[in-house]
Structure 1
Amino acid sequence: MDRYIAITPARDEERFLPGLIESMAGQVRRPQRWIVIDDGSADATARILDEAARRHDWIEPVHLARNRPREAGGESVIMQFLPRAAWQDVDFIFRLDADLSFAPDFVQLMLNEFAANPRLGIAGATLYERFNDRWHEARGIHSFHTRGATKMYSARCFSVIQPLESCAGWDTIDEMRALMNGFKTQSFRHIRAYHHRPQGAAAGAWRGHFGKGQTAYYVGYSPFFLVARAARMAVTRPVSAICMAAGYFDSRLRGRPNVNDAKLINFIRRQQVRRLLMLDSVWR
């Protein structure tokens, strides 16, 4: 069966949410339910969502107070509305951001990949972003990495790896847990999603790479692997490499916590050693 539930967090997304609603309504394979969480929006997001729900009975809006206590990271909100009872009768869970659009066969293409490979646990799309009035493929990623903006999980995989972490790096932790448990994770070049949110300025990009270093530390990356990765990046993007290394070692020197999963950290570091030795690993 190919039944699926979709879920989207949205906060102040009046510019982009209508495009996502149009994309979902136009799907060849629509969800059983699409839970859209209005996470305390101050703009017209709530109105747009409620109007869409009146047109489509499979859209389920949830409105949260803006001034409520909020945990760092958005996946804590996602998991509040994904108890086992919400997805025990479906085959897939589709998690997507509110600033996307895609073609009518987007979900069908995802489902085709699961049908072709029973070991597939998480499927992801290739993101395209607008630059100079043209759409360009976002910077390349490893084939096993599935971007957090759009992920489809098999229910069988999700039952093993959930709950999703409420932290930066959650979209690495989920796929590493999937790989550790024998599932396959993959992004597909022929499945495209268009990312509409404007990208930050250069200074923001530098801060982003510092954050990537912090995330690598939290996830449990080996310092040797991080240094090797930064050295490779430095060939073409030296400032980004320095910022990433700084973020990692700043967290290490401050003694910040890692993800609370020793088995997962051991798995990640074993794979990284194999990668450094040019042996078969999740990085190929």
Structure 2
Amino acid sequence: MKESMNPTAYLLLTAARNEEAHIEGTIQAVIAQTQKPVRWMIVSDGSVDRTDEIVSRYAALHPFIELMRASADPTRNFGSKARAINAAYERVRRLDVSFVGVLDADVTFDPSYYAAVLQRMLDAPRLGLAGGMLFDWSDGQFIQQVTDPDWSVSGPIQLFRKDCFEAIGGYLPVRGGVDAVAEVMTRMKGWKVQAFPELHVMHHRQTGTEQRGLLSVFFQRGIEDYQLGYQALFFAGHALRRIREPPWLLGSLLMATGYAWAFLRRTPRKVPSDFIRYLHTEQWTRIRARFYGRQGETL
């Protein structure tokens, strides 16, 4: 692929549905960036509140913002997010940029955030997917998400090298876990994934709670992990780590229940067999590294 004339040029893609409560804060955070995107495509995914009005008002003042409307999906799920993101990317893929960011409509961050992530990616040429550390709003405070920065970047703030985003074919429109699928596919294509804990991003709701209650979210996470091909032992460690985030032990138990429910029902997998084989190999490698005490390996 032809390199961009500007090695730090990037575009942003946002899928927003009924985000009137949060999207203005996100827009203001992007406008305040010391390094702004070349284009920011905001897809109103069937919004029926003031989302379109808010975005249109800012787009009239800031030419790099563009509103794109999509028809509503009957159910809100991450598959609809993937379709919205991919449609937006098709509109702007010919722009001369080096990076493609997926940004949720309910986050805020410091003015230097994108400049800092971009610089770290420039310093690491094999880094295909990067971002900061997400802090979810829960019980009246921001709580750091439980994740492994050496393996995962939270879905609301994933920033891809454009070559990497093209190589994985954008977001795979599965129900649940499109961000996790993108991480695995990034590594399958030979790129690295890295989050930077020193770069904080405030997420103004707990991930997945847009349309469901918190308890339902954790049950669904277990189902989604099964559908994405998580190996059972790895999943057990993965669920146990969730004890450190609300609703604490109950969340871990609900994840395990969801995984077991999907297993017993033989719920169809949502990803190709080569994806699952790669994921199992990777997860077994991490399990062995964990038991042999290598640093930086967590489930």
Partner of 1:242: 253
Instruction: Within 5 Å, give how 1:201-216 maps onto structure 2.
Output: 204-216=213-225
Instruction: Within 5 Å, give how 1:238-277 maps onto structure 2.
Output: 238-277=249-288
The residue type paired with residue 23 of structure 1 is: A
Query: How far does residue 197 in structure 1 lie from its aligned partner after superposition?
Result: 2.8
Alpha-carbon separation, structure 2, partners of 1:239 and 1:198: 15
Residues 98-123 of structure 1: CA distance to partner in whole angstroms, max 9, x if unpaired? 11111111110111111110010011
Instruction: Please identify, of 107-116 and 85-94, the stretch whose mean Cα deviation from structure 2 is larger.
Output: 85-94
Query: How far does residue 128 in structure 1 lie from its aligned partner after superposition?
Result: 2.4
Q: Which among 94, 97, 116 is matched to residue 109 of structure 1?
A: 116
**SS state at 2:280 partner:** helix
Tell whether 2:155 aligns with 1:164.
no
**SS state at 1:30 partner:** coil
Q: Which among 145, 170, 183 is matched to residue 175 of structure 1?
A: 183
Query: How far does residue 233 in structure 1 lie from its aligned partner after superposition?
Result: 5.7
Residues 108-154 of structure 1: CA distance to partner in whole angstroms, max 9, x if unpaired? 011111111001001121122445655x3423211121111111000
Partner of 2:4: none
- Residue pair 1:88, 1:155 contacting (<8 A) in 2 also: no
Partner of 2:51: 45
Taking structure 2 as the reference length, the TM-score comes to 0.84
The residue type paired with residue 266 of structure 2 is: G
The residue type paired with residue 255 of structure 1 is: R
Taking structure 1 as the reference length, the TM-score comes to 0.88
Tell whether 2:230 aligns with 1:224.
no
Alignment gaps of 5+ in structure 2 = 1-6
Query: How far does residue 63 in structure 1 lie from its aligned partner after superposition?
Result: 2.1
Instruction: Within 5 Å, give how 1:117-136 maps onto structure 2.
Output: 117-130=124-137, 134=141, 136=142
Alpha-carbon separation, structure 2, partners of 1:235 and 1:197: 17
Alpha-carbon separation, structure 2, partners of 1:245 and 1:71: 23
Residues 131-187 of structure 1: CA distance to partner in whole angstroms, max 9, x if unpaired? 5655x3423211121111111000111111123122211111111111122211111
Alignment gaps of 5+ in structure 1 = none
Residues 193-249 of structure 1: CA distance to partner in whole angstroms, max 9, x if unpaired? 11123686xx93332221111111111111232234446667994433321121112
Aligned length: 280
Alpha-carbon separation, structure 1, partners of 2:274 and 2:216: 30
Alpha-carbon separation, structure 1, partners of 2:296 and 2:83: 27
| RMSD (CA atoms) | 2.6
Partner of 1:22: 28
In structure 2, the CA distance between the partners of 1:222 and 1:14, relative to structure 1 (3 Å rule), is: same
Alpha-carbon separation, structure 1, partners of 2:215 and 2:234: 20
Identity of aligned residues (%): 27
Query: How far does residue 276 in structure 1 lie from its aligned partner after superposition?
Result: 2.4
In structure 2, the CA distance between the partners of 1:41 and 1:233, relative to structure 1 (3 Å rule), is: closer
Q: Which among 86, 90, 93 is matched to residue 93 of structure 2?
A: 86
- Residue pair 2:133, 2:145 contacting (<8 A) in 1 also: no
Partner of 2:3: none
